[in-house]
């Protein structure tokens, strides 16, 4: 991100931090201070983040504006979203991993705990720190609850909820070039039910990007790529898409771009148009295959078919754009489990994926609405027990790895792990 911003609107931001970055080659970026009261406090300043470790058992990470990013506290891993939401993850041996979004009051209490913890550390060690590290602590302590709430409200004026991105894009800068999903009728997916599909005009997109840059400030340095939201941003007809990508290039030059696309949307583009997207910096397109089995696919009400997905993946890859293919674990329940696994692996194998491509397996979380549960009941589909779902997940991961050989990476996608 740093390279790409050199000539963008963030030039003044870069000028502000340049002395710090230049200093880092001379002054130590990391210091350990030990006091009788606090024990060993370790501070490590990277160009775009600061890590504070309290006696190796509590760790805090902040961005270059002092905004909390994550912490490890009391055995829990917390991630702080730009939205103001906080996600708690706890991995314990022999039990399922806990993933929980904190209610607002609990999130505020956690922020207060982090603030008080850093204030205590600052009071005990600031005298022994370099100017640079003291500067970091001042920035961090300026993030009181009022500032966090103001940031949350600002976020809501810029973004609709950022429902999901693929796991390798969790550190992306998300641009809502479009809002919602142009299909929005899959029985299992409730990510975009709260909004109508909309394509931003070039001027709205420019304003959106400028607002994001102003909100993030130097925090933008932690963002590694640009994800074009929402559900199928690349479905935009090519002439309009070109105008929008020109705006992105102008505001965020040199960035690698990523986006979702559904199978139907993928069919609307020619091989030449994909090659043009590659030239605009589109590096990988993520498509939900969900299942290689026709019966399961029908239950999901996805547009297109598994065979069309194979053809689209071939078209996109031939243009030099990588793909991320997403499969569900669990759709079709126990009744269709055998054919879901077998056909999904066969379909993946037919895609001829290679280096840079990704396969994700996402355990199905049946939503309350959308029609999946009703349809499954009508077809007398027996749900999978949790152990059977876990076993299918393992089987799909192993089968997918065998199907793609050594080329593409295969990984778990858990939709409840996402936070922006
Ligand atoms: C934004 S969606 C899909 C992208 C694109 N619109 C498409 O249909 O191909 C991203 C992925 O989230 C996963 N997903 C959506 N709803 C889910 C659910 N209820 N449980 C598990 N995974 C889900 C699906 O695998 C889906 O492909
Ligand atoms: S799975 Fe994709 S196409 Fe289907 S509703 Fe969700 S975002 Fe839209």
Q: Which residue, judged by its Cα, is nearest atom 7 of ligand 2?
A: 231
Tokens of 265: 């949307």
Tokens of 365: 């979380």
pLDDT for 407: 84
User: 265 in ligand 2 pocket by Cβ < 6 Å?
Assistant: no
The Cα–Cα gap between 387 and 11 comes to: 53
303 within 8 A of 324, measured Cβ to Cβ: no
How far out from the chain centre does Cα 88 lie? Answer: 16
Which residues does 184 contact at the CB level (< 8 Å), separation at least 6? 192, 193, 197, 231
Could you identify the residue written with the tokens 């479905």?
235
Q: Span 160-417: which CATH code?
A: 3.20.20.70
Interior/surface letters 143-175, b for 16+ CB within 10 angstroms, e for the rest: beeeebeebbeebeebbebbbbbbbbbeebbbb
Q: What is the DSSP string of 143-197?
A: --HHHHHHHHHHHHHH-S------GGGTTSEEEESEES-SS---TT--TTTTS--
220 within 8 A of 173, measured Cβ to Cβ: yes
Give the number of the atom of ligand 2 that is nearest the alpha carbon of residue 290: 1
| Residue ranges covered by each domain of the chain | 9-151, 160-417
User: 184 in ligand 2 pocket by Cβ < 6 Å?
Assistant: yes
pLDDT for 24: 44
Give the number of the atom of ligand 1 that is nearest the alpha carbon of residue 163: 1
Report which bound ligand comes closest to the CA of 197. 2
The Cα–Cα gap between 146 and 143 comes to: 8
Q: Which residue, judged by its Cα, is nearest atom 8 of ligand 2?
A: 184
The Cα–Cα gap between 38 and 121 comes to: 7
Report which bound ligand comes closest to the CA of 415. 1
Cis omega before residue 230 (within 30°)?
yes
Q: State the helix-helix crossing angle for 337-351 and 386-404, rounded to 10 degrees.
A: 20
The Cα–Cα gap between 272 and 319 comes to: 7
Report how far apart the first and last C-alpha atoms of the chain are (Å, whole number).
Answer: 17
CB atoms within 10 A of CB 231: 26
pLDDT 10s per residue in the chain (420 long)?
544 443 333 444 444 444 444 444 444 589 999 999 999 999 999 999 999 999 999 999 999 999 999 999 999 999 999 999 999 999 877 777 899 999 999 999 999 999 999 999 999 999 999 999 999 999 999 999 999 999 999 999 999 999 999 999 999 999 999 999 999 999 999 999 999 999 999 999 999 999 999 999 999 999 999 999 999 999 999 999 999 999 999 999 999 999 999 999 999 999 999 999 999 999 999 999 999 999 999 999 999 999 999 999 999 999 999 999 999 999 999 999 999 999 999 999 999 999 999 999 999 999 988 899 999 999 899 999 999 999 999 999 999 999 997 789 999 999 999 999
Q: Which residue in 68, 47, 79 sits closest to 116, CA to CA?
A: 68
The number of CA neighbours under 13 Å toward the Cβ of 213 is 20
Q: Which residues line ligand 1 (CB under 6 A)?
A: 164, 181, 188-189, 191, 231-232, 260, 262, 287-288, 290, 326, 328, 362, 364-365, 367, 415
Give the number of the atom of ligand 1 that is nearest the alpha carbon of residue 287: 9
The Cα–Cα gap between 228 and 245 comes to: 10
H/E run at residue 274: helix 271-279
> How far, in Å, from the CA of 405 to the mean position of ligand 1?
24
Give the number of the atom of ligand 2 that is nearest the alpha carbon of residue 189: 6
Q: Please tell me the pTM assigned to this model.
A: 0.92
The Cα–Cα gap between 14 and 21 comes to: 9
Tokens of 124: 């005990």
SS3 of 339, please?
helix
Pocket probe mutation, ligand 1, options 170, 188, 362, max atoms within 8 Å of Cβ: 362
How far out from the chain centre does Cα 213 lie? Answer: 18
């Amino acid at each position: 991100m740093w390279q790409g911003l050199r000539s963008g609107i963030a030039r003044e931001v870069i000028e502000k931090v340049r002395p710090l970055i230049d200093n880092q080659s001379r002054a130590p970026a990391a210091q350990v201070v030990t006091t009788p009261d606090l024990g060993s406090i370790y501070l490590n300043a990277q160009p775009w983040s600061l890590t504070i470790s309290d006696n190796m058992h509590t760790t805090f990470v902040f961005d270059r504006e002092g905004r909390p990013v994550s912490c490890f506290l009391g055995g829990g891993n917390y991630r702080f979203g730009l939205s103001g939401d906080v996600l708690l993850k706890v991995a314990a041996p022999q039990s399922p991993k806990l993933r929980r979004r904190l209610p607002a009051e609990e999130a505020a209490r956690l922020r207060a705990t982090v603030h008080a913890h850093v204030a205590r550390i600052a009071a005990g060690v600031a005298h022994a720190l370099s100017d640079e590290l003291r500067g970091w602590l001042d920035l961090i302590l300026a993030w009181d609850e009022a500032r966090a709430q103001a940031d949350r409200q600002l976020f809501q004026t810029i973004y609709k909820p950022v429902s999901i991105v693929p796991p390798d894009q969790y550190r992306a800068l998300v641009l809502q070039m479009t809002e919602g999903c142009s299909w929005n009728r899959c029985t299992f997916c409730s990510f975009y039910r709260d909004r109508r599909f909309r394509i931003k005009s070039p001027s709205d997109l420019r304003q959106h990007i400028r607002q994001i840059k102003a909100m993030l400030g130097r925090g933008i340095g932690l963002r590694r790529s640009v994800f074009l939201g929402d559900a199928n941003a690349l479905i935009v007809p090519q002439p309009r898409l070109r105008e929008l990508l020109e705006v992105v290039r102008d505001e965020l030059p040199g960035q690698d771009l990523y986006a979702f696309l559904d199978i139907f949307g993928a069919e609307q583009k020619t091989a030449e148009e994909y090659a043009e997207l590659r030239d605009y910096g589109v590096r990988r397109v993520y498509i939900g295959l969900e299942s290689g089995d026709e019966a399961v696919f029908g239950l999901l009400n996805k547009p297109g078919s598994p065979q069309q997905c194979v053809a689209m993946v071939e078209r996109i890859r031939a243009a030099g754009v990588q793909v991320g293919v997403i499969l569900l674990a669990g759709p079709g329940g126990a009744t269709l489990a055998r054919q879901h696994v077998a056909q999904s692996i066969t379909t993946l194998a037919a895609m001829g994926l290679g280096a840079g491509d990704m396969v994700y397996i996402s355990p199905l979380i049946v939503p309350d609405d959308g029609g999946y549960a009703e349809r499954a009941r009508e077809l007398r589909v027996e749900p999978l027990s949790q152990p059977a779902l876990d076993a299918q997940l393992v089987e799909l991961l192993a089968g997918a790895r065998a199907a793609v050989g050594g080329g593409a990476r295969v990984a778990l996608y858990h939709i409840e792990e996402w936070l922006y």
